[in-house]
Amino acid sequence: MAEQQRHRVVIVGGGFGGLFAARLLRRAPVQVTLIDRENYHLFQPLLYQLATGILSEGEVAPPIRHILRRQHNVDVEFATVTGFDLQNRTVTATRLDDSERRHPFDSLIVAAGAGQSYVGHDEFARYAPGMKTVDDALELRARIFGAFEMAESEYDDAARRAWLTFVVVGGGPTGVEIAGQIAELSRGGLKRNFRKVDPGAARVILCDGGKEILAGFGDRLSQKASNGLAKLGVEIRTGCTVTDVHALGVAVKAHDGSTEHIAARTKIWAAGVEASPLARLLADAGGASTDRAGRVEVLPDCSLPGHPDVFVVGDMMSLDRLPGVAEVAMQSGMHAANTIKRRIAGKQSVAFKYRDLGSMATISRFRAVVSFKGVKLSGFAGWLVWLFVHIAFLTGFKNRFAAMLHWTNTFLFSGRAERAITVRQAVGRVVIDEAGGQESLRIAPPQARP
């Protein structure tokens, strides 16, 4: 089929939803343009390992164009999508130098994911990075390792304790995993590296507003996870609401109403998500509604009401109260791609049916909890399942191989291969905040250069 006659599919986002949709269109008679504001596909479930020095950014975020290098019907565009015109069927994207491109489409799949939600307190973000992007994880890595460095050269006892206190907000899988890893790092990975402070004396406090951590895993696994973290020395505070976050610490309110100030230099926000701002933009363009998390409400086949050729998948999609997990994103992305193929073949679309493949979280090395169709695993058995699933899903042979080498180093010898930090990483968020929140550095056009 000649190029210009091909059905044009634009995919926004090269995360789990967008990438799996693109791959499924490999042999379809379509021309795909995949637009992402980053040049990599991020394996978000391993971000906590990037933040704690186990894996490098290259291992959790391989380049999208490398993953798709053999798929000749895909063009990858490095740009930020800023608008949708559903009447004229175009997507507007802004490049790094502020120039705009319009991408015409016959079918559109929007998979721009979700960001961190600070539940009405965006001002907390400056002092408590979330963990959603490579930038977040690198910044956290710089703050975590930087805190131990600062403690080593601190004269004042109280100030040193504040540097050695880490507060993690949110007891879901992300919060549990990062808290466990900071504890493990301080008790093992940094041993004998410092002269004046004992990194093992670090306090790791995990705060959650609910009555138990990992609430979605059920009482038994939640209790196992609590016990595992307690053994590592993590202080778990349930029924605990964080009411203020600032440079030197956090204010918390317990379920009995009592309040406390915790002096802590490093705070990590792992509570709450909200859909990408593109969800609102798309909903407005298409006359659709969004739910409380800002996700676009779609029809059973993942299409936008009144726009059968526009699909919303993954964390941006609101359908049957499906959770924001990688499996939903992959399966819904593939479903949208399949629907496009069916329509081209003159067939009707069918409803999306989600196959629940369970959930898991690591507690420490050799310990994880897994919940799958009523089967609950914990300890070493759970960890083996975790290892198998993550090796299977890590994209690309090189990444798998490198990750396995680093895991051997960490799990067997408590080593952390990725400990180099830069001051720019540690202060990036504050500098951007002070510059008025402008996130991307614009490359000046030639005429503006001296």
Ligand X SMILES: Cc1cc2nc3c(=O)[nH]c(=O)nc-3n(C[C@H](O)[C@H](O)[C@H](O)COP(=O)(O)OP(=O)(O)OC[C@H]3O[C@@H](n4cnc5c(N)ncnc54)[C@H](O)[C@@H]3O)c2cc1C
Tell me whether residue 154 is one of the annotated catalytic residues: no
Kindly indicate which of the ranges 109-117, 236-244, 253-261, 298-306 contains the residues binding ligand X, using the contact rule CB under 6 A.
109-117
Of 148-187, binders to ligand X (CB under 6 A) are 173-174
Residue in 210, 272, 324, 396 binding ligand X, rule: CB under 6 A:
324
Kindly indicate which of the ranges 12-20, 68-76, 145-153, 422-430 contains the residues binding ligand X, using the contact rule CB under 6 A.
12-20
Residue in 154, 235, 291, 327 binding ligand X, rule: CB under 6 A:
327
Q: Which is nearer to ligand X, 174 or 425 (CB)?
A: 174
Residue in 107, 276, 364, 378 binding ligand X, rule: CB under 6 A:
276
15 binds ligand X (CB under 6 A): yes
Rg (Cα) of the chain, in Å, rounded?
A: 23
Asked if 299 contacts 199 with a C-beta cutoff of 8 angstroms, the reply is no
Nearest Cα residue to 225 out of 358, 382, 356 = 382
- Site pattern 203..232 for ligand X (x: CB under 6 A): ------------------------------
> Which residue in this structure is represented by tokens 């058995």?
381
| Least gap, CB of 178 to ligand X (angstroms) | 8
| Least gap, CB of 232 to ligand X (angstroms) | 19
> Which residue in this structure is represented by tokens 């067997």?
412
Residue in 7, 9, 10, 13 binding ligand X, rule: CB under 6 A:
13
Q: Which is nearer to ligand X, 131 or 185 (CB)?
A: 131
The whole-angstrom separation of Cα 380 and Cα 386 is 10
Q: Of 59, 77, 139, 177, which one is the catalytic site residue? A: 177
Given the DSSP bridges, would you call strands 375-377 and 241-246 parallel, antiparallel or unpaired?
unpaired
Contacts of 22 (CB under 8 A, 6+ apart): 11, 14, 32, 34, 68, 71, 74, 337
278 binds ligand X (CB under 6 A): yes
Residue in 325, 377, 421, 426 binding ligand X, rule: CB under 6 A:
325
Nearest Cα residue to 395 out of 76, 68, 131 = 68
CB atoms within 10 A of CB 417: 15
Q: Which is nearer to ligand X, 15 or 249 (CB)?
A: 15
Residue in 34, 36, 318, 428 binding ligand X, rule: CB under 6 A:
36
Tell me the CA distances in angstroms from 88 to 47, 85, 104, 310, 361, one per residue in order.
38, 6, 8, 13, 44
Tell me the CA distances in angstroms from 113 to 134, 206, 318, 326, one per residue in order.
14, 26, 12, 10
Kindly indicate which of the ranges 43-51, 334-342, 371-379, 432-440 contains the residues binding ligand X, using the contact rule CB under 6 A.
43-51
368 binds ligand X (CB under 6 A): no
Asked if 116 contacts 130 with a C-beta cutoff of 8 angstroms, the reply is yes
| Least gap, CB of 335 to ligand X (angstroms) | 13
Q: Report DSSP letters for 127-158, one per residue.
A: TS--SSSHHHHHHHHHHHHHHHHHHHT---HH
The whole-angstrom separation of Cα 112 and Cα 96 is 18
Kindly indicate which of the ranges 36-44, 148-156, 233-241, 346-354 contains the residues binding ligand X, using the contact rule CB under 6 A.
36-44
**What single-letter amino acid sits at 184?**
E
Residues in the interface with ligand X (CB under 6 A) total 34
Q: How is residue 264 written in tokens?
A: 């802590």
Nearest Cα residue to 364 out of 178, 171, 212, 174 = 178
Residue in 16, 105, 166, 311 binding ligand X, rule: CB under 6 A:
16
Say whether 105 sits in a helix, a strand or coil. Answer: coil
Residue in 22, 33, 37, 208 binding ligand X, rule: CB under 6 A:
37
Of 69-108, binders to ligand X (CB under 6 A) are 80-81
| Least gap, CB of 325 to ligand X (angstroms) | 3
Residue in 10, 25, 34, 47 binding ligand X, rule: CB under 6 A:
47
Q: Which is nearer to ligand X, 9 or 278 (CB)?
A: 278
The whole-angstrom separation of Cα 93 and Cα 366 is 44
Q: Report the catalytic residues.
A: 177
Interface residues with ligand X (CB under 6 A)? 12-18, 35-38, 42, 44-45, 47, 80-81, 111-113, 131-132, 173-174, 276, 278, 314-316, 324-327, 329
